[in-house]
Chain A
Amino acid sequence: MKKTNRLFTVLIFIFLYIPMAVLIVGSFNTGKNLAVFEGFTLNQYRELFRDQDLLALLGNSLLIAILSTAIATAFGTLSAVGIYRMKPKLRKAVMSLTNIPMTNPDIVTGISLSLLFVFIGTGLLGQRQSLNFWTLLLAHITFNLPYVILNVMPKLQQMNPALQDAAMDLGCTPLQSFFKVTIHEIMPGIISGAIMAFTMSLDDFVISYFVTGSQFVTLPVKIYSFTKKPIHPKIYAMFTLLFLLIFVLMVTMNLLQLRGEKQKAEKRAKDESKAMRTFKRVAAAACAFILLLGSVLLIATTRQDKVTLNVMNWGQNIADGSDGTMDLIAAFEEAYPYIDVNYSEYASNEELYSKLSGGGLVVDLIIPSDYMIARMISEDMLLPLDFENIPNYENVIETYKNQAYDPENKYSVPYTWGTVGIIYNSKYVDEADVTGWELLWNEKYKGQILMFDNSRDAFGVAQYMLGLDVNTTDKAELQKCADVLSEQRPLVQQYVMDQVYSKMEEGNAWIAPYYAGDAMMMMENNEDLRFYLPEDQAFNLFIDAMCIPACCQEKEAAELFINFMCDPEISGANMDYICYGSPIAGADAYMEDYLAESEIIYPPEEILKRGQSYGFLPEEITRYVENLFLQVRLN
């Protein structure tokens, strides 16, 4: 029985460690796909150390973890002493209060805190930006406190209460007796509480995800936004290094403990107390240093002469210097050295809308799609632009000006335009089936079809297939679309947005409706992929345009950014990366030829004619569609 138990334990450990082994092996892989080992390389590590942004994110995580742990440990220890001295009834009440964040699911804690901060910050104080570094720190302290208290309390209870009396009897004031006696007794509890708080804080994703704003993001939150896209293997390299670090830390801690226990038996107490004193001094110095560093960093980040421009864009929607393209943000910052661009991303128009309407953010520039622009205009969420600051506006091709979503062109300047079609894997999909939107309903490909995970695009696909008006407000028609989507559901592998990249590129799904530009990028990575616009059916022709949201604080800088993007050379360089159509005259001259000549990006005029744009839908219909879609997803 013992043998089988050992075997079983070994198997469980293998189960626990295999995924980590996969990630570690992935960090030495030349390819991006975890499942295919293409060759050994150390490049990912090089890339990692070159990526200042990623290291800065790690720094953010450490800063929050260290600060919140230090504060929670000091605060929690003192509070524990106070709670310990309470009358039993009151103590019980306070301890159940302490247990709330421990038993509550993280998601509820995160949501409740974020609602509180927005409620106070935006609702009561009228702040634009109510979610920021400080709210994140407060949240981390809050969920760290119980760990400290629950670790210190038992030590206090185990402690002989007469020790404190003895210290006072021998001339200590209560404060002295705490530092000379009590703290030594409860030190193991303080240390284990602090370690627990630190690891929890460092690895926290769920609570941070809800509580953080756009300016200060921790590593796990960023990783979450990464994992929607094909993740860069340098992240695996970072994982490997962190794994090694934590492994080494844990082993040394254990060794020290083991050795300490042996030493206790042999060594004399005098040396130990000396060691303790040195340890205390070092620890105090380290704490002081960390606090100092933290405050310096804070002052450094909060007090800047520079203007910070918060740009929010779709994922992978600006040239970033990778694969030989131009790094446009760097170029902009070079052109305007006093402006610092803080760039963040969203995955859908709806997510952007949620973020802005939820409050708690400062965003200076956004790039929503047509129908969302119309909605935002109708809800007064956008500021009119000052075109004096955007002389390059004259470069915009007339076709893309004064569109239905912004008839007088007061609020937006086109950024890109494109089409929505179907991308499929020619290795698995029969060319004969490639006709219209029906391909997405083809039983033959059950389980290999991906579908949009946002209501507007998903309903759009249904409407185009059924030949219905894409901007309808007729609830019966919408219900019909929902029915069609429900029929499709059993065939669908997953509802996705950015994840479509990895799924399609790695051949784990065969068919997906998606944006033409993204399709081009996927096709570069997998030559079996093809893209088509349905024959004889309508499809979505969309325009993404740059707008300034009402919560903007640096309007002039934002307009400079818009102007910068309307430069033909810049726009062309940008299209090299994002593979969409440029609305800027002359931009094609700066694009690579295969893009400028591509029929996917610039479809022939007669096909383009079938394109239909999304228009503005009333709030009630939007919510109705949203609800229908949720029902489709759930049933």
Chain B
Amino acid sequence: MEFDGERILDGINLYFNDHEFLTLLGPSGCGKTTTLRIIGGFLTPTSGRVLFDGKCINDVPPYERQINTVFQRYALFPHLNVYDNIAFGLKVAKLPKDEIHTRVQEMLEIVGLQGFENRRIDKLSGGQQQRVAIARALVNRPKVLLLDEPLAALDLRLRKDMQNELKRIQQAMGITFIYVTHDQEEALSMSDTVVVMDKGRIQQIGKPEDIYNEPKNAFVADFIGESNILDGVMNADYKVKFFGRTFRCLDAGFQPNEPVDVVIRPEDIDFVDPEAGHLTGTVTSVTFKGLNYDIIVDFKGFKWLIQTTDHQPVGATVGIRLNPEDIHVMHKSEYSGLFGDYSSYSAEYDELTEDADDEEE
């Protein structure tokens, strides 16, 4: 897919299964909305094919696809009320009046908006608008529902509620949801399958647990959760060397002495007495986070983030131990060396700016 001569998507090869909740996850500009728009039919790929039930639908316009979309910021019609918004697609399809009525009522019930039929759109709260948008799409009984950052405009509490709500609706309707978000927590908690994307390419496809536990490269490791990423060398199967020490690990199948990226999750690290540790370092900063402390420790000039419930004062010398299951080894990739260093750590680390507009035209 190219846009204005710029390559937006490259080598996307994705399969969606029936009744699946699939999430496209990535930072803004990664091509996830573009992918969604291609599926929806709003964009035509410059090369490649979109198959639906085995048929190529590249040239099928959006209004003839059995796919519906919940748009970013909903795109509800401001000149219509709740009822007419939901009934819009059915009216266009010229369904009989009473059928429209029953189906709209049904939908209103599913999204819990009975009694709001005549309400103007601008008189609804964000969550209610969200529900109308979902109802408006689902009432057409699509085979696939596309959701483009549907929860981005809601506040935190409401977002959590709606996550559960969406999951419930998906299970109740039994159709495929393709969900776009940049929020990794949302992706992990709702999806059957997560597709991590960046720079127009798929970085990893997998179940949420696999993605978290077995990131394929430094990007995925950093984007999903927090990671300390170190340069290492795979001495042999199950043996990785970094910081001048060789550690045992659970990874195998690398070339002998292959340079690799080593990922250590901050919550997997435990403090021990300096003498007893594999490594010793100095605490440079401590931030209270509620559940835990974020502690930055300087190991030979390389700063690690460690999340622990043990408080350590700044300046203290600490030791750590690393168990084999805490160490993940990845092949080197174009992302190596870009992530995983907390030298410039600040308390508001890697809050992703919600700049989703970049990926629209």
Q: A and B bound?
A: yes
Nearest CB of chain B from residue A278's CB, rounded to whole Å: 14
Q: Is A163 an interface residue (CB 8 A)?
A: yes
Q: Is A291 an interface residue (CB 8 A)?
A: no
Q: How far is the CA of A268 from the CA of B118 in the complex (A)?
A: 7
CB-based contact B75/A172 at 8 Å: no
CB-based contact A268/B62 at 8 Å: no
> In the assembled complex, which residues on chain B have CB atoms less than 8 Å from the CB atom of A168?
41-42, 61-63
CB-based contact B84/A273 at 8 Å: yes
- Of the candidates A160, A173, A176, A273, which one forms a contact with B79 in the assembled complex, judged by CB atoms under 8 Å apart? A273
> In the assembled complex, which residues on chain B have CB atoms less than 8 Å from the CB atom of A172?
63, 92
CB-based contact A171/B71 at 8 Å: no
Q: With A166-B69, A180-B92, A184-B79 as known contacts, state yes or no: A270 contacts B118, CB within 8 Å.
A: yes
Q: Is A170 an interface residue (CB 8 A)?
A: yes
Q: With A165-B62, A168-B42 as known contacts, state yes or no: A269 contacts B92, CB within 8 Å.
A: no
Interface size class of A (residues with CB under 8 A): 20 to 34
Nearest CB of chain B from residue A150's CB, rounded to whole Å: 23
> In the assembled complex, which residues on chain A have CB atoms less than 8 Å from the CB atom of B69?
165-166, 169
CB-based contact A170/B79 at 8 Å: no
Q: Is B77 an interface residue (CB 8 A)?
A: yes
Contact code string B208-221 (vs A, CB < 8 Å = 1, else 0): 00000000000000
> In the assembled complex, which residues on chain B have CB atoms less than 8 Å from the CB atom of A170?
63, 68, 88-89, 92, 136-137, 140
> In the assembled complex, which residues on chain A have CB atoms less than 8 Å from the CB atom of B309?
none
CB-based contact B75/A171 at 8 Å: no
- Of the candidates B42, B84, B120, B136, which one forms a contact with A165 in the assembled complex, judged by CB atoms under 8 Å apart? B42
CB-based contact B81/A165 at 8 Å: no
Contact code string B46-57 (vs A, CB < 8 Å = 1, else 0): 000000000000
Which chain A residues numbered 172 to 205 have a C-beta less than 8 Å away from chain B? 172-173, 176, 180-181, 184-185
**Best-buried of B67, B73, B77, B93 by chain A (most CB within 10 Å):** B77
Q: Is B119 an interface residue (CB 8 A)?
A: yes
> In the assembled complex, which residues on chain A have CB atoms less than 8 Å from the CB atom of B75?
160, 162-163, 165-166
Q: With A160-B73, A163-B75 as known contacts, state yes or no: A169 contacts B81, CB within 8 Å.
A: no
Q: Is B80 an interface residue (CB 8 A)?
A: yes
CB-based contact A269/B93 at 8 Å: no
Q: How far is the CA of A615 from the CA of B68 in the complex (A)?
A: 87
Q: Is B40 an interface residue (CB 8 A)?
A: yes
Nearest CB of chain B from residue A189's CB, rounded to whole Å: 14
CB-based contact B71/A165 at 8 Å: yes
Which chain A residues numbered 127 to 168 have a C-beta less than 8 Å away from chain B? 160, 162-163, 165-168
Q: How far is the CA of A170 from the CA of B90 in the complex (A)?
A: 8
Nearest CB of chain B from residue A486's CB, rounded to whole Å: 67
Q: Is B72 an interface residue (CB 8 A)?
A: yes
Q: How far is the CA of A69 from the CA of B136 in the complex (A)?
A: 38
Q: Is A589 an interface residue (CB 8 A)?
A: no
CB-based contact A171/B77 at 8 Å: no
Contact code string A259-294 (vs B, CB < 8 Å = 1, else 0): 000001000111001001000000000000000000
Closest to A176 in B: B92
> In the assembled complex, which residues on chain A have CB atoms less than 8 Å from the CB atom of B92?
170-172, 176, 180
Q: How far is the CA of A173 from the CA of B93 in the complex (A)?
A: 11
- Of the candidates A160, A171, A273, which one forms a contact with B81 in the assembled complex, judged by CB atoms under 8 Å apart? A273
CB-based contact A185/B89 at 8 Å: no
CB-based contact B79/A166 at 8 Å: no
> In the assembled complex, which residues on chain A have CB atoms less than 8 Å from the CB atom of B118?
268-270
> In the assembled complex, which residues on chain B have CB atoms less than 8 Å from the CB atom of A173?
61, 63
Nearest CB of chain B from residue A173's CB, rounded to whole Å: 6
> In the assembled complex, which residues on chain A have CB atoms less than 8 Å from the CB atom of B42?
165, 168
**Best-buried of A168, A180, A264, A269 by chain B (most CB within 10 Å):** A269
Q: How far is the CA of A352 from the CA of B68 in the complex (A)?
A: 70
Q: How far is the CA of A596 from the CA of B264 in the complex (A)?
A: 123
Q: Is B290 an interface residue (CB 8 A)?
A: no
CB-based contact B63/A171 at 8 Å: yes
Nearest CB of chain A from residue B107's CB, rounded to whole Å: 13
CB-based contact A169/B63 at 8 Å: yes
Nearest CB of chain A from residue B50's CB, rounded to whole Å: 15
> In the assembled complex, which residues on chain A have CB atoms less than 8 Å from the CB atom of B67?
169
Nearest CB of chain B from residue A84's CB, rounded to whole Å: 12
**Best-buried of B84, B92, B118 by chain A (most CB within 10 Å):** B92
Nearest CB of chain B from residue A90's CB, rounded to whole Å: 13
> In the assembled complex, which residues on chain B have CB atoms less than 8 Å from the CB atom of A165?
40, 42, 62, 69, 71, 75
Which chain B residues numbered 76 to 101 have a C-beta less than 8 Å away from chain A? 76-81, 83-84, 88-89, 92-93
> In the assembled complex, which residues on chain A have CB atoms less than 8 Å from the CB atom of B73?
160, 162
Closest to B123 in A: A269
CB-based contact A185/B79 at 8 Å: yes
> In the assembled complex, which residues on chain A have CB atoms less than 8 Å from the CB atom of B137?
169-170
> In the assembled complex, which residues on chain B have CB atoms less than 8 Å from the CB atom of A163?
75, 77
Nearest CB of chain A from residue B105's CB, rounded to whole Å: 16
> In the assembled complex, which residues on chain A have CB atoms less than 8 Å from the CB atom of B78?
184-185
- Of the candidates A169, A184, A276, which one forms a contact with B68 in the assembled complex, judged by CB atoms under 8 Å apart? A169
Q: How far is the CA of A180 from the CA of B79 in the complex (A)?
A: 10
Nearest CB of chain A from residue B90's CB, rounded to whole Å: 9
Q: How far is the CA of A170 from the CA of B77 in the complex (A)?
A: 12
CB-based contact B63/A269 at 8 Å: no
CB-based contact A171/B79 at 8 Å: no
> In the assembled complex, which residues on chain B have CB atoms less than 8 Å from the CB atom of A167?
77, 88
Closest to A87 in B: B4
Q: How far is the CA of A269 from the CA of B78 in the complex (A)?
A: 10
Closest to A173 in B: B63
> In the assembled complex, which residues on chain B have CB atoms less than 8 Å from the CB atom of A169?
40, 62-63, 67-69, 71, 137
Contact code string A326-355 (vs B, CB < 8 Å = 1, else 0): 000000000000000000000000000000
CB-based contact B40/A269 at 8 Å: no
Q: How far is the CA of A160 from the CA of B120 in the complex (A)?
A: 17
Q: How far is the CA of A518 from the CA of B83 in the complex (A)?
A: 76
> In the assembled complex, which residues on chain B have CB atoms less than 8 Å from the CB atom of A171?
63, 89, 92-93, 140
Which chain A residues numbered 231 to 270 have a C-beta less than 8 Å away from chain B? 264, 268-270
> In the assembled complex, which residues on chain A have CB atoms less than 8 Å from the CB atom of B63?
168-173, 176
CB-based contact A166/B77 at 8 Å: yes
Closest to B62 in A: A168
Contact code string B112-152 (vs A, CB < 8 Å = 1, else 0): 00000011100000000000000011001000000000000
> In the assembled complex, which residues on chain A have CB atoms less than 8 Å from the CB atom of B119?
269
Closest to B80 in A: A273
Q: How far is the CA of A270 from the CA of B63 in the complex (A)?
A: 26
Nearest CB of chain A from residue B358's CB, rounded to whole Å: 15
Q: How far is the CA of A184 from the CA of B80 in the complex (A)?
A: 10
CB-based contact B89/A269 at 8 Å: no
Q: How far is the CA of A160 from the CA of B63 in the complex (A)?
A: 19
**Best-buried of A163, A165, A166, A172 by chain B (most CB within 10 Å):** A166
CB-based contact A162/B72 at 8 Å: yes
Nearest CB of chain B from residue A88's CB, rounded to whole Å: 11
CB-based contact B77/A184 at 8 Å: yes
- Of the candidates A181, A184, A269, A276, which one forms a contact with B120 in the assembled complex, judged by CB atoms under 8 Å apart? A269
Q: How far is the CA of A169 from the CA of B40 in the complex (A)?
A: 7
Q: How far is the CA of A167 from the CA of B76 in the complex (A)?
A: 9
Q: How far is the CA of A297 from the CA of B79 in the complex (A)?
A: 38
Closest to A162 in B: B75
Closest to B86 in A: A170
Closest to B69 in A: A169
Q: How far is the CA of A184 from the CA of B136 in the complex (A)?
A: 19
CB-based contact A270/B81 at 8 Å: yes
Known: A169-B68, A176-B92. 4 other contacts (CB 8 A): A169-B62, A171-B93, A185-B79, A273-B80
| Partner-A contacts on B (CB < 8 A) | 40-42, 61-63, 67-69, 71-73, 75-81, 83-84, 88-89, 92-93, 118-120, 136-137, 140
The 21 sampled A-B contact pairs (Cβ below 8 Å) are A160-B75, A162-B72, A163-B75, A163-B77, A166-B71, A167-B88, A168-B42, A168-B63, A169-B62, A169-B63, A171-B89, A171-B92, A171-B93, A172-B63, A172-B92, A176-B92, A180-B92, A264-B120, A268-B81, A269-B119, A276-B79
Q: Which 9 A-B pairs have the closest CB atoms?
A: A170-B89, A162-B75, A269-B81, A184-B79, A166-B75, A269-B120, A171-B92, A162-B71, A168-B62
